Structure 1
Amino acid sequence: MPSHSPLRYLTLFLLLAALAALSGFGTHRVAQQLGIADLQTTGLHRLDLYTASLEREIGKYAFLPGTLGLEPDVVELLRQPQENKRQPAVNAYLEQLNERAGTLSIYVIDAGGRVRASSNWQRDDSFVGEDLSFRPYFRDALNNGSGRIFGIGTTRGEPGYYLSSRLADRGQTLGVAVIKVSLEQLEKSWSTGEAPAMVSDENGVVILGSVADWKFTTLRPLDEATRSAFDQTQQYNRRALKPLGLKEIRELDHGARLVRISGDSPEMVSVYPVTGRFLAQSRPLPGTPWTLTVFSHLEQVDDIAQSRATVAGVVAVLLFMFGLMLVERRRHLKDRLAAQQALQQAHDELERKVDERTADLSAANHLLQDEIAERIRAERTLRAAQDELVQAGKLAVIGQLSTGIAHELNQPLAALRTLSGNSVRFLERGDLTTTRTNLERIAQLVDRMGQITGQLRNFARKSSGQLQPVALCHAIDNALALLEPRLRQANAEIVRHCPLPEPRALCDANRLEQVLINLIGNALDAMAGQAAPQIEIDCSGASGSARLAVRDHGPGLDDAAQAHLFEPFFTTKPAGDGLGLGLTISAGIIRDFGGTLTGSNHPAGGAVFTLEMPLFDESTADD
Structure 2
Amino acid sequence: MAVIVLLATFALILWQVASLTRQVELDNLRRSLDQNLSRYTLSLQNELEKYQNLPALLATDRSFKNVLYNSDNRVLVGSLNRYLSEVRTITGASDIYLMAPSGQTLASSNWNTPASFVGKNFHYRPYFQQAMAGDEGRYFALGTTSRKRGYYFSHPIRSADAVVGVVVVKIDLNDIEEQWNDELTDLLVTDIDDVIFISTRESWKFKTLQPLSGSDLRRIVDSLRYVDQQLVSLPITEREPLAEGVELITLLEDNPDAGDRSIDRLSGSRYMLMRLAMPEAELNVVALAQLSQVSSRVWNAVVLTGVILTVLVLLGLFLLLRQRIQYERQRFKEQANRTLELNEARVRAVIDNTQAGLITLDAQGRIESFNPTAEALFGYSAGKIERRYFSHLIAQPDRAVCWRMITDPQELPEQAQVPVLEVQARRQDDALFPIELTIVPVRDHGERKFIVTIHDLTERKEYEVSLRDARDLLEQRVLERTQALQGANDRLRNEIEQHQHTQEELIQTAKLAVLGELSAGINHELNQPMTAIRAYADNARQFLELQRTERVAENLQEISGLTERMSKIIAPLKVFSRKSSGQAEPVSLLSVRKGAMSILYGRLHSEQVEVNWPESLEDLLVMGDMVKLEQVVVNLLSNAVQAMQGQEHKQIDISLELTDTHLCLEFRDQGPGIAPAELSKVFEPFFTTKAAGEGLGLGLSISHRIVENLGGRLSASNHPEGGACFRLCLLRVDRARID
TM-score (norm 1): 0.48
Say which structure, 1 or 2, has more relative contact order (CA 8 Å, 6+ apart): 1
